[in-house]
Structure 1
Amino acid sequence: MKTRTFWVVSVPGIGALLWALIRMAPPALALAHGHPDRQYYSYSFSHGTYSDVAALYSSRHLYARALPYFQNIIEYPVIIGFYMWAMAWLPGFWGYWVGSGIGLVLAFVGALYALWHSRGWRAALWFSASPLLLVCGLLNWDLLGIMTWGWALWEWKAQRWALTGVALGVGMATKFFPVVLVPYLFWGLRQRHQRGEARRLLWGFVLTAGGLNLPCALWARPGWAEFFTFNSGRGPAPGLYQWLILRGVLHIDTVNLLSLVLTVGGGVALLWAQAQGRLDPIEAGTAALAWWLLCNKVYSPQYMLWVVYALLWVDSSPPLLVAVNVAGLLDFLLAMRWLALGTLGSPVAARFGRAVVPVIAWRDVVLWSAVYERWHLSERRLVSHKVPTEGAV
């Protein structure tokens, strides 16, 4: 009966992803020599159907089936890189596209099952019914990383500490974001004086992340390091950083440093709040993820899927979940419009870029709210711990 409930809850999400697989498939006019060509970008941006999964088959020459990092430069962590390569061995572009999509649907099912098993059907339904799955689920390979976030927290709640570390190591080698959980889960065990358990978690993470990354880092360093060099040289998304760069106030190197300092500073503050008993480890890690995305120079619309999923592990309020979904939808639609204008060489593109800043600022307010809600909850929890209950001696 419980398994049947899970599959009922999963129907909206699976349906949305399968529809996205059809809706985002490139038309014949955008396919040259059997894979997306330059026409794909203008068409997909204009129709709101762009997907990195489709675009990189051509731009990263996946059809050549060259070994990633060793023979082909890929700007993604190793698991996504080899996933892209493995899917490219399926027959032609359509084999690659359908295979990649089905794999991401299975990753969604895995992430949803971990959430359903640990948090119940209501939390799972919130994620399955998220409209962001329709527009962002196949935009990139993030569902693979989101699945590792759920896997890690499932193992954490089951008190399987070494496997928690393994899941976090796999997550770091997939989409990097799950690494944010490591210090908070590790410190959570140290706070309970479970030092042996904390060591098992840390060693599980270090050995897994190292084992997955070292072969490429040692013998294919330029390809493996592309993840870092590509993102450090990448321009900021529309928002405060871009506005300051365009006005000559900041340089891209300064933005990289500022982004790092703000992210680490906020992460340390949240670790201090956890040490004071204001936040539990999962709450602190969730707030740290939202803070990271708020301060990060690089931003993509599908990142809001991470925020929705992470918030559901800490039982956030429905208004905040609705706001995150709405912000993600607006972010996607504005990004598609802005990119379409830029690709077509429209003179309106620059003005449009300035016009979307207020909406981007609202999205950042929503991300800040995800951090603040955890912090505000921590204040009430701290007060409740300090104030004796009525009748206490």
Structure 2
Amino acid sequence: MSGSEENDHRRIVHPTVDDPITAALSLGVGGPVGEHAGRHSWWTPVQVLLALTAICFALGFVQKTPCYRATWSSSETNYSDMCYSDLPYLYVDRGFAELDWPYSSAIAVRDRYQVMEYPVGISYFAYASAYLTHWLSGSPNLDARGGMSQPQLAADPKVHRETLLFTAVEGVGFALCALLAVWFLSGVHLRRPWDAAYFAVSPALLLEGLINWDLLAVVCVAGALWAHARGRPGLTGVMIGLGTAMKLYPLFLLGGLVVVYGRERRWRDLAGATATGLATWVVVNTPAFVSGRAQWNVFWSYNTHREADLGSVWLMLQQMTQHTFGVHTINVVSWLFFGAWCAAVAVLGFSARLTPRLAQLGFLLVAGFLLVNKVYSPQYTLWLLPLAVLARPRWRDQLIWQGGEILYFASVWWYLGGHLEPGGGGDPGFYWLAIIVRMATELYLVGIVVRDVLLPEYDVVREVSWRDHFSWWRQGGPGQLALTPSADGAG
């Protein structure tokens, strides 16, 4: 082992000496790593993390097995076994069984199929998955399908097999996204690669990774954090632009960059990140916009006119008060609250003693958006996951937060399946409780992150910098007994 390798090994923060829960669990296998521990001849932290991610995601496939065996045709199985997924239902319903372009304006297509209500990046991914599905299925005759109705098409045995294959193809794509996200996260802080383990073995990733297309945006957010850590604002903007083309929420990372770059007077970097982000979003959206402007606009109009839906505080209040809030009221109040929340995060960021980390600011912004959004689907937990694990890399806090998410995950399916209805009838009180617990655990993590921003000595990522400075001082190095001003760098 070379001297540089030894130094790199010592620089890595090992989880068994950093996290109290991991340290306690390690007692059963020999205890925390010692000062003279050597480096494995092949396994590196990143390779271990990728293996853990693969295992976790494979278990996610297993968790969906009851629905796969039932071909997602049984609502009872979907809800009682908590294995529901949106993926198989759109193969026929959105025209992918006939390989129709999602943004086609052809009357024959639009009279037959509903437009994809998702951002363009998701539509592209689904279309590419459908194309691969058709190729793997032997390129079926699409002309014959044009003469079949949607119910006939859905009932066709060959199409039925294709639907399952389409779901599997998409799932493999999501697994690759999860692996890439972990690779990105492990490189944000080179001395803390093990922080990505909170993502790699997350219960949220296992249970919710295959519900919808959210992992496409998640990997872009992880990529933005990675690029920012390496001082590459242009690439950071590109990843934010790509993520915004998948889901809207990665756009909020620009708010975090305003604080970070603003405090450091890096206006050129802020302009570069914003410009490349906007340019990337425009480039990705252009094919859809040009081929079908009306179809491209469906995503925006659908979300504007959407009513209060599952998981939201709005739905809970409506059910509690038996009063239906108008869509306009929900939109205005939600955006006003979120605007005030963003202002509060900005004040927090600019008034903190040290520049907050991008993951901390991003987590706070996305959390504020979700808390008042008119829909809070179970898989939206994934939006917070890469930000949360880097904002607060501690098992105790992660398990408290994800414990609330798991409770809601189970409750929403049982609620939809009618399993939470009181025996004598009445209101779904347990479902309301699950929403409240979910919000409470999320606010708990918000509070912890805010504390870390205000009191950076509690920030475990910055705490490493303090320890290293102290170590250097004891060894005769530069005696800089102070917290590192910014902990977003990869070093």
TM-score normalised over the length of structure 1: 0.87
* CA distance 1:28–1:281, shift in 2 (3 Å): closer
1:386 alignment partner in structure 2: none
Contact map agreement 1:308 1:324 (CA 8 A) in 2: no
Deviation (angstroms), 1:292: 1.2
Contact map agreement 1:263 1:295 (CA 8 A) in 2: yes
1:44 alignment partner in structure 2: 78
1:221 alignment partner in structure 2: 293
Contact map agreement 1:238 1:353 (CA 8 A) in 2: no
In terms of mean alpha carbon deviation, does 153-162 or 3-12 score higher? 3-12
CA distance in 1, matches of 2:98, 2:437: 42
Q: Is 1:243 paired with 2:316?
A: yes
CA distance in 2, matches of 1:150, 1:2: 26
1:314 to 386, 391, 403: 391
| SS, match of residue 332 in structure 2 | helix
Deviations 1:82-120 (A, max 9, x none): 111111121322331221111101000110001112233
* CA distance 1:349–1:170, shift in 2 (3 Å): farther
Structure 1 or 2: larger helix share? Answer: 1
Report matched runs for 1:45-194 at 5 Å: 45-71=79-105, 73-89=115-131, 90=133, 91=137, 92-119=162-189, 120-194=192-266
Contact map agreement 1:290 1:370 (CA 8 A) in 2: no
CA distance in 2, matches of 1:382, 1:19: 37
2:340 to 265, 290, 305: 265
CA distance in 2, matches of 1:381, 1:28: 47
Q: Is 1:11 paired with 2:81?
A: no
Deviation (angstroms), 1:162: 0.6
CA distance in 1, matches of 2:325, 2:413: 26
Contact map agreement 1:270 1:284 (CA 8 A) in 2: yes
| SS, match of residue 418 in structure 2 | helix
Structure 2 segments unaligned to the other structure (5+ residues) = 1-40, 106-113, 138-161, 459-480, 483-491
Q: Is 1:211 paired with 2:283?
A: yes
Structure 1 segments unaligned to the other structure (5+ residues) = 384-388
CA distance in 2, matches of 1:298, 1:150: 24
Deviations 1:131-151 (A, max 9, x none): 222210111111111100110
| SS, match of residue 188 in structure 2 | helix
1:280 alignment partner in structure 2: 356
Deviations 1:359-393 (A, max 9, x none): 2111101121222222222332499xxxxx99xxx
| SS, match of residue 138 in structure 1 | coil
CA distance in 2, matches of 1:323, 1:258: 29
Deviations 1:235-268 (A, max 9, x none): 3224531133342263232112211111121012
| SS, match of residue 212 in structure 2 | coil
Deviation (angstroms), 1:203: 0.8
Deviation (angstroms), 1:348: 6.5
CA distance in 2, matches of 1:217, 1:265: 32
CA distance in 2, matches of 1:44, 1:287: 33
Deviation (angstroms), 1:357: 0.9
CA distance in 2, matches of 1:29, 1:128: 27
Deviations 1:265-324 (A, max 9, x none): 101210122122355251222111111111211111112223232112223443220112
Contact map agreement 1:286 1:310 (CA 8 A) in 2: yes
Determine which structure has more spread, i.e. the larger CA radius of gyration.
2
CA distance in 2, matches of 1:350, 1:11: 47
How many pairs are equivalent?
378
Aligned partner letter, 2:196? A
Aligned partner letter, 1:79? G
Aligned partner letter, 2:294? P
2:15 alignment partner in structure 1: none
Aligned partner letter, 1:164? T
